Amino acid sequence: MPASRSVVIGVDSSTQSTKAAAVDADTGELLAVGRAPHTVTGTAGARESDPEEWWTALVAAVRSAVRDAGVATGSVTGIAVAGQQHGLVTLGPGGRPLRPALLWNDTRSAPQAAALAARLGGPEAWTDRTGSVPVASMTAAKWQWLREHEPERAAAATGVRLPHDHLTERLSGTAVTDPGDASGTCWYGTATGAYDREVLDLVGLDPALLPALAPTGATRVDTLAPAAAEALGLPRTVAVAAGTGDNMAAAVGLGLGGAGLLDHPVVSLGTSGTVFAATRARPAAPGLAGFAATDGGGTYLPLGCTLNCTLAVDRFASLLGLDREDAAPGGGGGVVVLPYLDGERTPDLPHAAGLVTGLRHGTDPRTVLGAAYEGAVFTVLRALDELLAACGLDPAAPDVRDRPLRLIGGGARGRFWTDTVRRLSGRPLVVPAAGELVALGAAALAAGAVTGSDPVALATAWGTGAGEVLPALPRDGETWDRIAGVLTAATPTLLS
């Protein structure tokens, strides 16, 4: 290995684990990936994690990646964190967490979200100002929940951070965030590119508790702080990028942004199901999160999110005593499953439970599992149509329907997930070969912090978004209409 080789580290700190990718900054070659798990606790809508465990996992994953890559520690030049979005981290003395973080999929703040959404002129005013209407996942709703349920902790907070902000601060000693992840709080104005003081006043949050806003996720904010360098076993000269949220980093890894692909939709099948696209159109749709992109320059990343995706389908498989790939070919037949086991975000049904209808004495359990796949995919693709409209596109237009979907996430590796997306969408798919797109996007941010280059252009040159192209299948409109009919009939009577 050349002694002059520059290696950057991209960290994906997700809900369930941390992954750290060691990447050749010049070629984009993935040299090694280190991993460490997280613990999520909570019942009855609560979902929490200890941020100290995130830091421990980051250290373990980075050390593992550098060791397995076989590179000298002196060749590491940059690091960036992409974190799960929306989580609320409250800091006390010494910058340490006052309590476990409230995660994005903690739905206890649904009443606070509804109350906030009715303020400031209602949902349209929120989308005009912040790009998003408050829902249970948004950080502003979680802060309001904390103020109402744990006022002593809210009053004691000396800092309020998102998960990636907290880890970047541990790395660099600098309290900083980026426009992409900040736009998931509902207190950042996508119209102004600054914190919205009226929203902060509404939720009683002192702006002095928030991190500074960097221009992009690839902005160099500092080098490693002494304690972080020692913990990681890396030189203090390693550049630390501002970093971003996981969805924004995935977009960078796919080459989506001002210097790459615009208005090309992505479907991500993971713990949550998400749809997003980089666009120049500033989105203002109540059913979507109107995020900013992390590459700056007037690029946005509208996103639709469903809470119930791969984990919900796996739960149905477990209840039925089946493996996840045991679903009946062709799907659910006459069975419809709305797998809203954790409530739902898009559609906004935070208190919903799962619904199964169409069962007969002769129904095969494999058919029910197939229907669970269909229900999850339907919900994601329904959000996709909203997304395309927010980008100023007609979802039914032939040129839009022929535009390939980029399918990513753990579900993209499952045959039945892929087949169901193809059947219900009627669209061609691109399944990127790279399996760690969030970490690779973060690595591109790190390389941008080192070189000053545009991270989307870097990822495009690396080719991290390239993959297998699957041709379109005829769209299964009958199944689509059946699921849509059940959702309409069950809302709100059975799903509220």
As annotated, the active-site residues are 246
Residues 223 and 237: their CA atoms lie apart, in Å, by 6
Q: Are the beta carbons of 187 and 195 closer than 8 angstroms?
A: yes
Q: Which residues have CB under 8 Å from 244's CB, separation 6+?
A: 80, 82, 164, 178, 180, 181, 217, 252, 294, 442, 445
* DSSP track, 142-198: HHHHHHHH-HHHHHH-SEEE-HHHHHHHHHHS--EE-HHHHTTSSSEETTTTEE-HH
The residues, ordered by sequence, that sit 6+ positions from 397 with a Cβ below 8 Å of its Cβ are: none
Alpha-carbon span 299 to 282, nearest angstrom: 8
Note whether 172 and 137 are within 8 A (CB): no
H helices, E strands: number in the chain: 17, 24
In the chain the first and final C-alpha atoms are separated, in Å, by 59
d(CA 294, CA 301): 9
The number of beta carbons lying within 10 Å of the beta carbon of residue 70 is 10
Say if residue 3 is exposed, middle or buried (CB neighbours under 10 Å; 0-12, 13-18, 19+). Answer: exposed
Q: Name residue, tokens 């502003």.
A: 140
Q: If you count them, how many residues does the chain have? A: 496
Alpha carbon separation from 380 to 99, 132, 401, 454 (Å, rounded): 33, 18, 16, 30
Apex CA 475: angle with CA 396 and CA 381, to 5°? 65
Q: Which residues are CB-neighbours of 28 under 8 A, at least 6 positions away?
A: 440, 443, 444, 458, 459, 461, 462, 463, 464
